[in-house]
A and B are shown apart, each in its own frame.
Chain A
Amino acid sequence: MKLLLGGILLAAGFAGFPLVTARNDLLNLGIQIFLAVALAQSWNLLGGYAGQITLGHAAFFGLGALVTRTLWVGGAPLSVALAAGALVATAFGVLIGGPAFRLRGAYFAIGTLGLAEILRITVGNLMPEISTIPVTALASYDLVPRYYLTLALAMFSVAVVAVLVRSRVGLGMQAVREDEAAAEASGVGAFRHKLLALVLSTALAGLAGGAFAYYHVSYYPQHAFSPAWTFDAVLIAFIGGVGTVHGPVLGALFYVIAKEVLAVQLVEVHLLIFGVLFLLVVLLLPGGLVEAWSRARRLITRNS
Chain B
Amino acid sequence: MILTQQLILGVLVGGLYGLAAAGLSLTFGVLRVLNVAHGELLMLGGYGTFWLFALWQIDPFLSLLGVGPALFVLGLVLYWMLFQFVVKAHEEARIKNSLLIGFGLTLVFHTLAIRLWTADERAVTTDYAGAVVKIGVFTVPLVRLSSLVLAFAILTALHLFLAKARWGRAIRATAEDWEAAALMGIPVGRTYLLAFALGTALAGIAGGLVSVSYSISPSIGIEWTLKALIVVVLAGLGSLFGSFAGGILLGLAEATSVVFLGGPYREVVGLVLFLIVLLVRPQGLFGDRG
Contacts and interface: CB of A to CB of B under 8 A. Distances in A.
Interface in B250-272: 264-265, 267-268, 271-272
Contacts, number: 106
Interface residues of B, number: 39
B220 interface: no
B265 A125 contact: yes
Nearest to B232: A110
Contacts of B267: 117, 121
B142 interface: no
Interface string A88-104: 00000000100110011
Given A105-B95, A279-B82, A231 B107 contact: yes
B226 A271 contact: no
A53 B96 contact: yes
Contacts of B230: 114
A228 to B, nearest CB: 10
Central interface residue in A99, A110, A111, by most chain B CB within 10 Å: A110
Contact of A105 (B92, B110, B114): B92
A99 B279 contact: yes
Nearest to B229: A110
Interface in A40-59: 51, 53, 55
Central interface residue in B34, B104, B233, B274, by most chain A CB within 10 Å: B104
Contacts of B268: 118, 121-122
Interface in A223-240: 227, 231, 234-235, 238
A269 interface: yes
A100 B278 contact: yes
Nearest to A115: B275
Contacts of B264: 121, 125
A96 B275 contact: yes
A103 B267 CA distance: 25
Contacts of B265: 121-122, 125
A238 B282 CA distance: 29
Nearest to B280: A99
A80 interface: no
A283 B82 contact: yes
A268 interface: yes
A279 B109 CA distance: 12
A214 interface: no
A271 B278 CA distance: 31
A279 B92 contact: no
B7 to A, nearest CB: 22
Contacts of A276: 104, 108
A53 B271 contact: no
A45 to B, nearest CB: 16
Interface residues of A, number: 39
A254 interface: no
A78 to B, nearest CB: 31
Given A96-B275, A110-B34, A114-B229, A272 B111 contact: yes
A103 B290 contact: yes
Nearest to A286: B97
Contact of B271 (A107, A117, A234, A235): A117
B222 A227 contact: yes
B133 interface: no
A282 interface: yes
B104 A275 contact: yes
A282 B95 CA distance: 13
Contacts of A15: none
B88 to A, nearest CB: 11
A278 B111 contact: no
Contacts of B279: 99-100, 111
A73 interface: no
B85 interface: yes
Given A103-B282, A117-B267, A283-B85, A269 B115 contact: yes
B99 interface: yes
Contacts of A96: 275
Interface in A184-214: none
Given A106-B34, A227-B222, A234-B103, A279 B108 contact: yes
Given A53-B96, A282-B100, A114 B107 contact: no
A148 interface: no
B205 interface: no
A114 B223 CA distance: 10
A146 B155 CA distance: 56
Nearest to A51: B96
A285 interface: no
B272 A118 contact: yes
A109 interface: yes
Central interface residue in A96, A275, A276, by most chain B CB within 10 Å: A275
Given A99-B278, A105-B92, A117-B271, 8 more contacts: A109-B99, A117-B226, A118-B268, A268-B111, A268-B114, A278-B104, A283-B85, A283-B101
Interface of B: 34, 36, 82, 85, 91-92, 95-97, 99-101, 103-105, 107-108, 110-112, 114-115, 222, 226, 229-230, 233, 264-265, 267-268, 271-272, 274-275, 278-279, 282, 290
* The 4 nearest A-B residue pairs measured at CB: A275-B107, A275-B108, A279-B104, A99-B279
